[in-house]
Amino acid sequence: MRAPQSRTEGGIGERWKSEREEGGTVSVPVIASVGTAHPPGTDQQELWEKFFSRHYSGPTRALAQRIFANSGVSRRQAAVNPLLEDVSDWPTERRMRRYQVEALPLGKEAVGRALTAAGLAAGDIGLFVVCSCTGYATPGLDILLARDLGMAASTQRMFVGHMGCYAAMPGLGAAGDFVTARGRPALLLCAELTSLHLQPSSARVDTQQIVSHALFSDAAVAAAVVPGGRGYALREVSAVTDTSTADHMTWDVTDTGFRMGLSPKVPQVLSNHVQSLVHDLLARHGTSASGVDGWAVHPGGPRILNVVERELSLSPTALATSRQTLDQHGNCSSPTVLLILDRLIRAAPSARRVVMLAFGPGLTLYAALLERTA
């Protein structure tokens, strides 16, 4: 989908331009729209029966079957579907070339939808932030998409790499800071192709790799952040990192793609920090968990959601949207929390306060508070 090349009459692009020309100050960053894009979907059970049941052998197969069955995922998407194309023995160079081929159209579709929904043209964007940890190339997605979509030569760009599942949060923070400081729209894109990093088959028991194969999926999600207007104001982004557990979640570049390391101790580390992170964030804005209408929590897996629910004393339905997203889309790394936000605000458009939570390497926990502006 190609973005519009002229501003919508009376839309956001015209408003911020006229206000700046008149010397007005617009300082509140607002998420005006979210645009999503997915490659073709595949049934989780079909993936198991027709590929992964043969990918593993010996005692590993029975373990893998249990992990797939208890993953909380029933359907996910793949730009490179192992039922059609087995990339497990591909060298990293070949995977990186394929990344660019698949990520560009997916990113363009998500960006186009976000711009259209916000009433923006590509030339309105002052800062373009791109998050991805599943592929690298120079020129990167930020440059190639800015060129193909018709962004201005003066558009600033920022690439956020290797932050993993929480990357959307610092990306949103940077976009929000730019909007506050410059009074111009910013655009965030998170694009991940985890399907490119299928690892070679092995008879060796490697629980961490099995979990990775059972959970991860592909997606691209874009969010338009504008100065004021209707949407969700980004009140604050905060974080905490426990560097003593840095080895609990890793993403290593190998000769056969990027390999995930995922310790079973991750939920315990989250349980040590998530309560104070969220409570302190909300207290700074004069509220508490009971005053939150919607929760967009990154579903690293079912256990992660259970820990968050328990530690924050949430109702059994509070994380329903996060569980639905995991069920229908798997863990898409950085785009996932934005997928949940999009689903949440569509299902509950009257929600006033929303908390976003995401977790990743570090171990790092990120939280953001959003408030509906109109």
Provide the CA 251 distance to its chain's centre, in angstroms: 16
Q: Name the token pair of 223.
A: 């969010």
Active site residue 332: no
Q: Please report the pLDDT score of residue 169 as a whole number.
A: 98
The CATH number of the structural domain formed by 232-372 is: 3.40.47.10
Question: Cα–Cα distance between 173 and 358 in angstroms, integer?
Answer: 13
- Residue 226's nearest CA partner among 20, 26, 37 is 26
In three-state secondary structure terms, 257 is strand
Measure the CA–CA gap between 231 and 228, rounded to whole angstroms.
8
Question: pLDDT tens for residues 22-34?
Answer: 445 557 999 999 9
What is the C-alpha separation between 246 and 363, in angstroms, rounded?
6
In the chain, the largest separation of any two C-alpha atoms, in whole Å, equals 72
Which pLDDT score, from 0 to 100, does residue 145 have?
97
Q: Is the pLDDT of residue 328 over 90?
A: yes
> Percent of the chain having pLDDT more than 90?
82
Q: Tell me how crowded residue 227 is: count the other CB atoms within 10 A of its CB.
A: 26
Q: 55-92: per-residue pLDDT in tens?
A: 988 888 999 999 999 999 999 999 999 999 999 999 99
Paired strand residues for 75: 43
Question: What is the structure's pLDDT at 258?
Answer: 93
What is the average pLDDT score of the chain?
Answer: 91
Residue 181 one-letter amino acid: A
Regarding pTM above 0.75, the answer is: yes
Alpha carbon distance 206, 108 (integer Å):
36
Q: Are 122 and 222 in contact (CB under 8 A)?
A: no
Lowest mean pLDDT among 93-107, 197-211, 229-243: 197-211
Q: What is the pLDDT of residues 207-237, one digit of tens each?
A: 889 999 999 999 999 999 999 999 999 999 9
pLDDT of residue 204: 66
Give me the amino acid identity at 49: E
What pLDDT score does 2 carry? 32
Residue partners of 333: CB distance under 8 A and separation at least 6: 133, 134, 164, 165, 167, 190, 192, 194, 216
What are the beta bridge partners of residue 364?
Answer: 241, 360
Neighbouring C-beta atoms of residue 213, cutoff 10 Å: 26
Question: pLDDT grade, residue 203 (50/70/90)?
Answer: low
> Which residue is catalytic, options 131, 133, 165, 332?
165
The end-to-end CA distance of the chain, in Å, is: 28
pLDDT reported for residue 24: 53
Paired residues of 186 in beta bridges: 127, 225
Q: For the chain, what are the domain ranges?
A: 12-39+81-227, 232-372
Question: Which element (helix H / strand E) includes 61?
Answer: helix 59-69
State the fold for domain 12-39+81-227: Peroxisomal Thiolase; Chain A, domain 1 (3.40.47)
Both structure tokens of 133: 């940890």
Residue predicted with more confidence, 265 or 114: 114
